[in-house]
Amino acid sequence: MLPADRSTQLFRMEEARRQTQHQLDLIERQITRRMTALIPQLGRKQPGYRRGKPPDPKTFLERYRANLAAITAERQPEIDALSRKLARQDVAIAVLRERLSLRALCA
């Protein structure tokens, strides 16, 4: 392959990696958005709050963590697949960069 073709291939591989990372970031933002929407509902389930008892932060955190785990578990197969793909892309990009740098040294 010509060096220009390799450079083009590297550019395409880096772009594909950026898109994969963007998909992972998108999933993370969606999970964050869902959890943010749930926060008001999590705080309302505290019995006795209106009778002068202060809210228990431990209970709120337990409910928050349980809901976060449930929402994350729904998307976990997709997250795992994208993470594996990202790792493969990182390795392929590193190998191609190494080849390009060796070519530059030999030339």
Q: Is the pLDDT of residue 2 over 90?
A: no
Residue 28: predicted pLDDT: 97
For residues 35 and 81, what is the distance between their CA atoms, to the nearest angstrom? Answer: 23
Task: pLDDT band for 48, please (50, 70, 90 cuts).
Answer: low
* Residue 48 region by backbone torsions, left for phi larger than 0, else alpha for psi between -120 and 50, else beta: left
Residue 7 contacts residue 100 (beta carbons within 8 Å): yes
Residue 107: predicted pLDDT: 61
Structural domain span for residue 34:
3-106
Residues 71-80: tens digit of each pLDDT: 999 999 999 9
Q: How many domains does the chain have?
A: 1
**Residue 48 DSSP label:** T
Q: Is the pLDDT of residue 42 over 90?
A: no
Q: Is the pLDDT of residue 31 over 90?
A: yes
Q: Is the pLDDT of residue 102 over 60?
A: yes
Other CB atoms within 10 A of residue 106 CB: 6
